[in-house]
Structure 1
Amino acid sequence: MPHYLSPDEMQRTAPAETAFRSPVPTQIVSNGEFNPLPQTPEQRRVEARVAELADDLAPRHGLGRREFLASAAGMAAAFLAMNDVFGPVFDVTRAEAAEPGVAGARADALAGQLIVDVQTHFVRDDFKQDGLLTLAQYAKKHWNPALAGENDLARFKFENYVKEVFVDSDTKVALLSGAPFDDSSWDLLSNDQIAAARAAINRIAGSRRLLSHAVFTPRRSGWMDRVDRAIATLKPDSWKGYTIGDPLFPSKLGSYWRLDDEKLVYPFYEKIVKAGIETVCIHKGLLPADYEKSWPGVWEHATVSDLGKAAKDWPRVNFVIYHSALRAFLEPPDAALAEFEQTGRIKWATDLAEIPAKLGVRNVYAEIGTAFANSAVANPRFAAALLGTLVRGLGADRVLWGTDSVWYGSPQWQIEALRRLEIPEDMQRRHGFAPLGPADGIVKSAIFGGNAARLYRVNVRAALGEITGDRIAAIREEYVAQGGMRSNVRYGWVHRPTA
């Protein structure tokens, strides 16, 4: 997995595969686009409580600890532990964890929910960058002698992607993405490979399971010719851009750009509107802790300062801002939450949420991605504040579900986190937030799939009918019948423990 952490920052990380395999991560996992914070005292308490509940409750289900933690009851136990530490933020009962069949019945009732994950990744078969393997090899030698697969990038490739996303989670439709790098050897997948993967999975499934991005790269020579070719031959479902340019390091080639650059980018908008592929997904936020020093003159391109004018000038273009433009937690989560409680603002994410009211536009969306995944782990009250901010400002019909999988393993824990999350009543009253409601209620159903279905022209009823009976559904059913279970493995980096 590529990363843009500095060598010094990498020395303070360890592979996420070495972390305790809780159904819900008990510390922040980085995908390489931001610094993972050290495990907080609260997260250590959650981890200890999950282990305690597993040891206590697994025998009631006739399971060992590992099997219990991979079950629906184990997932419920993890959210019980989160509530024990952070307060009643998640909708979960002890009966789900303690009584056989209760959690499974709930999971079965929600299994048919439309989940459209608009941010997923895997790497090409010939991906040769071995930075991640070096970390895994170090972990096997120094941290976890039992670690398997330390010399194999297969965990980030096609077959494991299909298993983690479509078999080990309730995801029904996924959008496969990519990223641009000044050094092309870091490219995860080319646009052609993304399109080929879409064709392969949909052919295997017999339904429209996978959507595809085409990455566009302003300032690179011939980029508009590649856009023309993508429109003519690849026919992507939407576009993916990085205004910051190369997401590994500040670009020496000057590949960063602005959404409101009339000369450079507006001809692109004109072209995609004419082609009818009008959704543009933009990576924003998630910079290293020292971004002001390490990305001078570049970091501003990760903010949404360029979004308002572009959205107003191009009302037919749908601008989907990935990670909700959330600036990475550059201070302890408690401090970030305290700042929100004091000011009512979340850095960069609030700026995004305020654009519709300030400019009168309705074509700005937030994808929650890593912003939700890590805030739910670090402090679920902060995750609630983030969702409340986005829904209040953009509307529940302008927030999209995304998980940044396969970096974090199966996205089922993220799905369960949103299904169970509720904004605390005191936060609702103070900040004017509406409740998120039940797992299959109007708000969460819109976020999980309804909004993306509208953008990507997915007929929900027809899609669910096809997916229920497709080949991937049959594979999943057979897998479960044979005792298959989630591994609870995450892929990426966590902060290295200290003595």
Structure 2
Amino acid sequence: MAHYLTDAELERTAPAEVASFKGPVPTQIVSNGEFNPPPQTQEQRRVESRVDALAGDLAPRHGLSRRQFLASSAGMAAAFLAMNDVFGPIFDVQRAEAATPGLADARAQALAGQLIVDAQTHFVRDDFKQEGLLDLAKYAKQHWNRGLWGESTLARYKFENYVKEIFVDSDTKVALLSGAPFDDPTWNLLTNDQIATARAAINQIAGSRRLLGHAVFTPKKAGWLDEVDRAIATLKPDSWKGYTIGDPLFPSKQGSYWWLDDEKLMYPFYEKIVKAGITTVCIHKGLLPADYEKSWPGVWEYATVRDVGKAAKDWPQINFVMYHAALRAFLETPSAALNEFEQTGRIKWATDLAEIPSKLGVKNVYAEVGTAFANSAVADPRFAAAFVGTLVRGLGAEHVLWGTDSLWYGSPQWQIEALRRLEIPEEMQRKHGFAPLGPADGIVKSAIFGGNAARLYGLHVKAVLGEIGNDQVAAIKAQY
């Protein structure tokens, strides 16, 4: 991950609510303010133009304004039609869904009860005061949008909006709240105690188990195993979160990076969590800039999966979940990665992850797709198809977890719809031995969306859906 925007970079950007096309699906990779996003590609401009044209043509048929149409289920269908027009038939969508009143709504309603477990979500604590983010918002209000709200509070990324965008504005049923460690503790998004408090608050309000929570562990930091003991005894996390790369924002100057298979450092931790029965370990992997060897010297290897296989083989009792599926590419168009895939059949670090089970005979390695799927689906859905196909072929559909990294990308509903409709092109299936992903509520996608996480987190699908369907959050969503 790279540094915050310079003054020169800021001059070349505009706020998403002003510069971005207000369509159902983003037509440009969007930054959360920490990075300079790549410019809109020619294909994305074509998608944007096509969506706009479809809205102008179809909105009157629904008796809606252009804006109302784009916010509707039919508008969502139109967005995927436009993407197919530009990128080829990647998404399962028919023109009738966008053109015929009621058809898209009926489809959306039929899928609304699907179990969606988002295995990676974030919000920031109320007292988050890191000047980088606050100064960016103030700059945006001064130079871009006088009406911008929350420039001094970061309310956009806080608890109240989190509940709305995750549980009300999307079909997500259960979410896993995560955190992240930094060399500079003022960057910490949430403490372990705050994650546990948020979990308790949402579940109490809902009257159901809507929110799961991580405890972040930080090898090499003083007293880290004592914090693990405290978390086990008092916080009782649903799983663990770690960053082998150390600080995820900047190459660590404190040497806070580490290996999963470091027997002296990590195996005492594994002994503790196995004894406690909290045996799912989620690890941030991948997501480095294209010049990672130069910009992250001596550190970048810790973002690869070279340490996963041995740890998984030595500890079959533990589920090792690699976040972002270890995809190297981050906040860049996937054209280079797609070209590499088409020439070699490999996707940097994600293919390495997918090959671990066949090479080592392990069954306890998983991939989570947060950020990696969102960015590729926006920039080139053909790469998204190759990415998901690679994971399913190597790990098996039962070892791929849904995650969105929201709130960084707003409500995750567009990501949910993208995977529901995604299909691997037939020629790609034949060439690379990929199986079809199938329908939105078929075996493969149901496993990815919720079945696999339900198994890891002890969620009984029918019981959970029954409980959640009648809880307080469901009532709020129905009124909303």
Q: TM-score, structure 1 length as denominator?
A: 0.93
Matching residue of 2:255: 254
Matching residue of 1:484: none
Describe how 1:335-354 pairs up with structure 2 within 5 A. 335-354=336-355
CA distance in 1 between partners of 2:400 and 2:126 (Å)? 33
Structure 2 SS opposite 1:171? coil
Q: TM-score, structure 2 length as denominator?
A: 0.96
Describe how 1:103-182 pairs up with structure 2 within 5 A. 103-182=104-183
Matching residue of 1:368: 369
Matching residue of 1:64: 65
CA distance in 2 between partners of 1:41 and 1:169 (Å)? 29
Matching residue of 2:399: 398
Question: Unaligned stretches of 5+ in structure 2?
Answer: none
Contact 2:25 2:76 in 1 (8 A): yes
CA distance in 2 between partners of 1:303 and 1:31 (Å)? 24
Deviation at 1:36, TM superposition (A): 2.7
Contact 1:322 1:369 in 2 (8 A): yes
CA distance in 1 between partners of 2:36 and 2:327 (Å)? 13
Q: 1:31 to 1:350 in 2, by over 3 A?
A: farther
Contact 1:259 1:307 in 2 (8 A): yes
Q: 1:29 to 1:330 in 2, by over 3 A?
A: closer
Describe how 1:219-230 pairs up with structure 2 within 5 A. 219-230=220-231
Contact 1:33 1:287 in 2 (8 A): no
Structure 1 SS opposite 2:264? coil
Deviation at 1:33, TM superposition (A): 7.2
- CA displacement, residues 347-383 of structure 1 (integer Å, 9 cap, x when unaligned): 0100000000000000000001111000001100000
Matching residue of 1:488: none
Matching residue of 2:444: 443
Structure 2 SS opposite 1:263? helix
Matching residue of 1:265: 266
Contact 1:35 1:328 in 2 (8 A): no
Structure 1 SS opposite 2:406? coil
CA distance in 1 between partners of 2:208 and 2:322 (Å)? 28
Structure 2 SS opposite 1:265? helix
Identify the range of structure 1 (281-290 vs 124-133) with the bigger mean alpha-carbon deviation. Answer: 124-133
- CA displacement, residues 465-491 of structure 1 (integer Å, 9 cap, x when unaligned): 000000000000000xxxxxxxxxxxx
CA distance in 2 between partners of 1:276 and 1:145 (Å)? 52
Q: 1:188 to 1:212 in 2, by over 3 A?
A: same
Q: 1:433 to 1:113 in 2, by over 3 A?
A: same
CA distance in 2 between partners of 1:55 and 1:464 (Å)? 38
Query: 1:16 is matched by which residue type in structure 2?
Result: A
Describe how 1:328-477 pairs up with structure 2 within 5 A. 328-329=329-330, 332-477=333-478
Query: 1:51 is matched by which residue type in structure 2?
Result: D
Deviation at 1:5, TM superposition (A): 4.2
For these two proteins, the number of residue pairs brought into alignment is 478
Identify the range of structure 1 (420-429 vs 127-136) with the bigger mean alpha-carbon deviation. Answer: 127-136
Query: 2:115 is matched by which residue type in structure 1?
Result: L
Matching residue of 2:208: 207
Query: 1:188 is matched by which residue type in structure 2?
Result: L
Structure 2 SS opposite 1:47? helix
Matching residue of 2:278: 277
Deviation at 1:146, TM superposition (A): 4.9
Structure 1 SS opposite 2:208? coil
Structure 2 SS opposite 1:112? coil
Identify the range of structure 1 (305-314 vs 224-233) with the bigger mean alpha-carbon deviation. Answer: 305-314
Contact 1:33 1:247 in 2 (8 A): no
Query: 1:378 is matched by which residue type in structure 2?
Result: A
Structure 1 SS opposite 2:252? coil
CA distance in 2 between partners of 1:309 and 1:56 (Å)? 57
Structure 2 SS opposite 1:280? strand
Structure 1 SS opposite 2:64? coil
Deviation at 1:20, TM superposition (A): 1.6
Deviation at 1:143, TM superposition (A): 3.7
Q: 1:245 to 1:395 in 2, by over 3 A?
A: same
Q: 1:292 to 1:16 in 2, by over 3 A?
A: farther
Matching residue of 1:496: none
Matching residue of 1:322: 323
Contact 1:3 1:32 in 2 (8 A): no
- CA displacement, residues 237-285 of structure 1 (integer Å, 9 cap, x when unaligned): 0000000101111111111111011000111011101100000000011
Larger RCO (CA within 8 A; separation ≥ 6): 1
Q: 1:107 to 1:330 in 2, by over 3 A?
A: closer
CA distance in 1 between partners of 2:56 and 2:146 (Å)? 24
Contact 1:120 1:405 in 2 (8 A): yes
RMSD between aligned alpha carbons? 1.7
Matching residue of 2:16: 16
CA distance in 1 between partners of 2:464 and 2:344 (Å)? 43
- CA displacement, residues 159-192 of structure 1 (integer Å, 9 cap, x when unaligned): 1000000000000000000000111111110000
CA distance in 1 between partners of 2:69 and 2:372 (Å)? 28
Identify the range of structure 1 (142-151 vs 197-206) with the bigger mean alpha-carbon deviation. Answer: 142-151
CA distance in 2 between partners of 1:328 and 1:15 (Å)? 23
Structure 2 SS opposite 1:118? strand
Sequence identity (%) = 81
CA distance in 2 between partners of 1:273 and 1:96 (Å)? 49
